[in-house]
Amino acid sequence: MARTDPVGTLKSLRKMVAVLDCFSQHQRSLTLADIARRTGLPKSTVHRLLASLREVGFVAQERDRERYRLGLRLFGLGATALANLEVHGEARPLVERLIRLSGEGVHVCVFDGRKMVTIDHREPDGRSADWVTTVTGSPVHCTGVGKATLAFQPEETVEAIVAAGLRRFTRSTIIKRDALLDELSVVRARGFAVDNSEHQPGIRCIAAPIRNAEGEVFAAISVSGAADRITPDRVEDLAELVVDAADHISRRLGWRDGGGELPILAADGIDPT
């Protein structure tokens, strides 16, 4: 029986991941030549990798057979991964109560190293995010959840986000490195982030970081709504609610900062532990 080469297997796996990483919400279909150029791999190697990925449903060929796109099986795996995230279950009661206390929509998002991925989104009327919006993710440099998370990441992570490009979405989007670093410093100092119509026109968002048991920020929770409803004079009050909810979720995940009782939601019957 032939012995498996673990080094060769790992190299092949990394190449497959590199192929999958070529696709994005802005480049949903690519040719073999496109993928070869982006990965730096020979076309013959890319063709072999695409054939393997297509066989297991990770990529699909379009009708003209010249272009490829991500396969539907990835959606199923993504749904399973999100459902199994501990934070998803621990945040659920806090999301419901934050909606009731704020009267605004609530998002819980995790940082995947490049973007924020929504794992829960609820509106006061009971609506939630559609699956495509959820798996697409959102940028970190101009969203409340993104800035609340990025502010507590290592310097190299922040620089990688900057190097990838700070895309402009609205006239308010921060697109300069120094301006972003200044903004992240403000977020760290006050403990929450504000998106003042930086990602979507007319939308204001207040977000706070969520920590794991080791104290690392890996996610964020936010309230968001129309800027003419979430006016500047409401920001501080909503921020208090959001920070309190984030701290409760963090404690439910095992984080201990040595602080005392969390006052706001504790009165609503939520056990922080």
Residues 132, 210 within the same domain:
yes
Point out the domain boundary residue: 71, 97, 119.
Answer: 71
Q: Cα dist. 12→53, 54, 55, 58, 251 in Å?
A: 12, 15, 15, 15, 40
Whether 192 maps to a domain, the answer reads yes
Residues 102, 131 within the same domain:
yes
Residues 12, 34 within the same domain:
yes
Residues 62, 136 within the same domain:
no
Residues 100, 177 within the same domain:
yes
Residues 195, 213 within the same domain:
yes
Whether 211 maps to a domain, the answer reads yes
Could you say which residues of the chain have pLDDT below 70? 1-8, 25, 76, 78-84, 126-136, 258-273
- pLDDT value, residue 233: 93
* pTM for the structure as a whole: 0.71
Assigned token pair, 259: 């602080």
- pLDDT value, residue 27: 81
Pairing relation of β-strands 217-226 and 203-211?
Answer: antiparallel
Q: How far is it, in rounded angstroms, from Cα 118 to Cα 171?
A: 24
Whether 39 maps to a domain, the answer reads yes
Whether 63 maps to a domain, the answer reads yes
Q: How many domains does the chain have?
A: 2
Q: Any idea what the CATH number is for the domain that residue 227 is in?
A: 3.30.450.40
Residues 102, 48 within the same domain:
no
Point out the domain boundary residue: 43, 71, 99.
Answer: 71
Whether 273 maps to a domain, the answer reads no
CA atoms lying within 13 Å on the CB side of residue 238: 26
- pLDDT value, residue 136: 55
Residues 24, 131 within the same domain:
no
- pLDDT value, residue 87: 84
Assigned token pair, 118: 């929504």
Residues 67, 120 within the same domain:
no
- pLDDT value, residue 118: 86
Whether 271 maps to a domain, the answer reads no
Point out the domain boundary residue: 21, 43, 71.
Answer: 71
Residues 10, 52 within the same domain:
yes
Q: Which residues contact 100 (CB under 8 A, 6 or more apart)?
A: none
Closest Cα to residue 210, out of 124, 90, 98, 105?
90
Whether 15 maps to a domain, the answer reads yes
Q: Which residues of 224-246 are buried (b: 16+ CB within 10 A; e: fewer)?
A: bbebeebeeebeeebbbbbbbbb
User: Where in the sequence is the domain holding 229, given as residue range(s)?
Assistant: 77-266
